[in-house]
Amino acid sequence: MYQYDAIDKEMLADRVAEFREQCERRLSGDLTEDQFKRLRLMNGLYLQLHAYMLRVAIPYGALSSAQLRKLAFIARTYDKGYGHFTTRTNLQLHWIKLKDAPDILEHLAEVGMHAIQTSGNDIRNITADPHAGATADEVDDPRIWVEAIRQWSTFHPEFSFLPRKFKIAVTASPADRAATKVYDIGLRLHRNDAGELGFEVLVGGGLGRTPYLGPVIRGHLPVRHLLSYLQAILRVYNRHGRRDNIWKARIKVLVASLGAEGFGREVEAEWESADNAQVDLPDLELARIRAAFTPRNFATLPATSAAFEAAKADPAFARFARHNVKPHKIPGYAIVDISLKKPGETPGDCSAEQMELLANLGERYSQDEIRVHYEQDLILPHVMLDDVPAVWKALGAEGLDTANRGLITDIIACPGLDYCALANARAIPIAQAIAKRFEDPALAERVGELGIKISGCINACGHHHIGAIGILGVDKKGEEFYQLTLGGSAEAEASLGQVLGPAVPANRVADAVDSMVEVYLRERQEGERFLDTYRRTGLAPFKEAVYAVAH
């Protein structure tokens, strides 16, 4: 994993000093809350319903054990003993006191972490395939390129006051575990016919009020030109993106208004007229970053493990192995998914004790690495198959052995009206009610792969548009209602969900999901997932079932 050098560390130290000074000016009354707002919002500090919320960046979702241990320490010392992993692979601390914020940043800096650009109209924390460096289906390690973008975008003098926030995701696998089609910029690493590494560049995807799948504006960008090409895209956006209406300010609106071809032409013209050699990283620096991600310490092992197979005699372990253990590119290793979606718990929440357990397991069994998946789950990316039974047993001690990755109870939900000042409705209790309904693991397994995603408002932090079942909280005359969408997906063949019909009240959501699952179980053909059946049958049978029950 990339280690911060003296320069990276001094950047963080300077940032902490700056923020400490800004906080002192606020606490002494030198700055009003309004004046302070635009400063704190450049540093991931939000004023929410009950307290300040601090959003900590986790670039490409990768954590070392020391970093995760530090997050546990902060959660216990300065918050209520837990944190919330988000769909952007950040960690949110929801109960922060302003006076503690500079100290928290200082603690984070000790382990090479920060809250830089986790809010504001700038280039936000960049996400990557959470299986990067561990999966066999990638053409390169996307983290190398994300680290390059992280540095380039940090305190970028030209792009810190964009029309709106800006999010970039990178994948190097056709499976696209980074949802690149719904990002402001999605970058897909591939090799062209000549075998050269390049990016397919997608621009203008996004969820929120007007969801779009990002169109391709360049089929093959040679990797060495990544940063100069990003500069061209960002410059066109910064100069021409709308600023008159916050709902029309994302780049997707500019791309839609010019058309993908028109926008692409503007970018190419800008790119050709800039001195790109000044922007792109020299080979030496790219090699330095690449070296930081070189795999190490892998043992030579047989592809199968007798201990792993024998442990499957326990049906609970066998279920965990079926849903949470994924193939690794090195024989004898596995990627172990850890669900933060135990039925009844808040999706994405993680206690200090759980963080510490995972830090220990990461250190002992996973080459000192823990990853965050945008579906609000965690990952031990490099576990020997021989060790998986021991890891599973240890996870059980903190309730982290739920064998539901990808299943109906593995629900994504934003914090919703329980915390967030923007929300129209609660998301967490809806997730809990549905998870309870399908709590029986045998039932959840029978239903199979089914992604439910819940957002408490149109900002779509819970990614409802890309849920096989999407649930959106809306306000109807002061009451919480929920609009249902079907058929969304962020995978390779991405699609946006279609609205099922009128919104339903809170106490009807779990019933509605139940009805739709029954339709699926009745209609499904051999090998079909919920999404496949929906794509074949369309909305009609689901709609009929949900609204027949309602009247």
> Total number of residues binding another protein (CB under 8 A)?
38
281 binds another protein (CB under 8 A): yes
- Considering the complex, state which of residue 14 and residue 24 has its C-beta at the smaller distance from another protein: 14
Pair 61, 128: CB distance under 8 Å: yes
> Rounded CA gap, 129 and 411, in Å?
19
Nearer to another protein by C-beta: 24 or 518? 24
Classify residue 58 as left (phi > 0), alpha (psi -120 to 50) or beta: beta
Edge-to-edge order in the sheet of strand 349-351: 45-47, 52-56, 91-96, 82-85, 349-351
3-class state of residue 390 by DSSP: helix
By CB under 8 A, which span of 11-19, 185-193, 364-372, 420-428 interacts with another protein? 11-19
User: Can residue 5 be called a binding residue for another protein (CB under 8 A)?
Assistant: yes
Please give the residues from 149 up to 178 whose contact with another protein meets the rule CB under 8 A: 151-152, 154-162
Q: Select 161 or 222, whichever has its Cβ closest to another protein.
A: 161
The answer to whether residue 246 forms part of the interface with another protein (CB under 8 A) is no
7 binds another protein (CB under 8 A): yes
**82, two tokens:** 């837990």
- When the beta carbons of 285 and 309 are compared against another protein, the nearer one is 285
Radius of gyration of the chain (CA): 23
Which one of 38, 80, 209, 536 is in contact with another protein (CB under 8 A)?
A: 38
The only residue of 18, 268, 353, 528 in contact with another protein, by rule CB under 8 A: 18
Rounded to the nearest whole angstrom, what is the least distance from the CB of residue 548 to another protein in the complex? 50
Residue 1 Cβ, how far from another protein at the closest point, in Å? Answer: 18
Which of 20, 220, 235, 326 is the binder for another protein (CB under 8 A)?
235
**Look-up of token digits 């769909």:** 87
- Which residues within the stretch 327-346 sit at the binding site for another protein (CB under 8 A)? none
The span of 134-142, 200-208, 280-288, 466-474 binding another protein (CB under 8 A) equals: 280-288
Neighbours of 68 (CB within 10 A): 27
Closest approach of Cβ 239 to another protein, in Å? Answer: 5
* Among 30, 285, 440, 479, interactor with another protein by CB under 8 A: 285
Instruction: From residue 12, give the alpha-carbon distance in Å to each of 59, 74, 83, 107, 437.
Output: 14, 17, 22, 11, 46
Q: Tokens in use for 498?
A: 């279609």
Please give the structure tokens belonging to residue 23: 């906080």
Neighbouring residues of 408: CB distance < 8 A, sequence distance ≥ 6: 434, 438, 444, 447, 450, 452, 513, 517
299 binds another protein (CB under 8 A): no
Q: Confirm or reject binding of residue 32 to another protein (CB under 8 A).
A: no
Binding of another protein by 291 (CB under 8 A):
no
Q: Smallest distance, Å, CB 496 to another protein?
A: 30
Our CB check for another protein shows the closer of 156 and 220 to be 156
Q: How far is the CB of 169 from another protein (least distance, A)?
A: 20
Structure tokens at 38: 């635009």
| Region binding another protein by CB under 8 A among candidate stretches 103-111, 236-244, 306-314, 406-414 | 236-244
Q: Which helix (H) or strand (E) holds 51?
A: none
**Residue among 287 and 310 whose Cβ is closer to another protein:** 287
Helix (H) or strand (E) holding 117: none
With CB under 8 A as the contact rule, the residue among 174, 282, 295, 302 that binds another protein is 282
Is 50 or 247 the residue whose CB approaches another protein more closely? 247
**Three-state secondary structure call for residue 123:** strand
Nearest to 475 by CA among 417, 410, 517, 412: 417
Q: Which is nearer to another protein, 8 or 528 (CB)?
A: 8
Q: Which stretch binds another protein (CB under 8 A): 13-21, 296-304, 311-319, 539-547?
A: 13-21
The smaller minimum CB distance to another protein, of residues 106 and 528, is found at 106
* By the rule CB under 8 A, 540 interacts with another protein: no
Minimum distance between the CB of residue 75 and another protein, rounded to whole angstroms?
29
At 333 the three-state DSSP class reads strand
Out of 194, 245, 272, 284, which residue is the one contacting another protein (CB under 8 A)?
284
Q: Where are the beta strands (DSSP E) in 42-124?
A: 45-47, 52-56, 62-64, 82-85, 91-96
Determine the residue type at 18. Answer: E
Give the residue from 25, 50, 30, 34 showing the smallest Cα distance to 102: 25
Query: Binding of another protein at residue 275 (CB under 8 A)?
Result: yes
Query: Which pair of structure tokens corresponds to residue 66?
Result: 């020391």
Distance between CA 41 and CA 124 in Å, rounded?
A: 12
Q: CB of 406 within 8 A of CB of 325?
A: no
Residues 6+ apart with CB under 8 A from 230: 149, 152, 153, 168, 185
| Residue 433 touches another protein, criterion: CB under 8 A | no
Positions in 109-128 near another protein (CB under 8 A): 121
Helix (H) or strand (E) holding 238, with range, is helix 226-240
C-beta closer to another protein: residue 158 or 493: 158
**Residue 258 is a binding residue for another protein (CB under 8 A):** no
**Residues in touch with another protein (CB under 8 A):** 5, 7-8, 10-11, 14-15, 17-18, 38-39, 121, 151-152, 154-162, 227, 235, 238-239, 243, 273-275, 278-279, 281-282, 284-285, 288
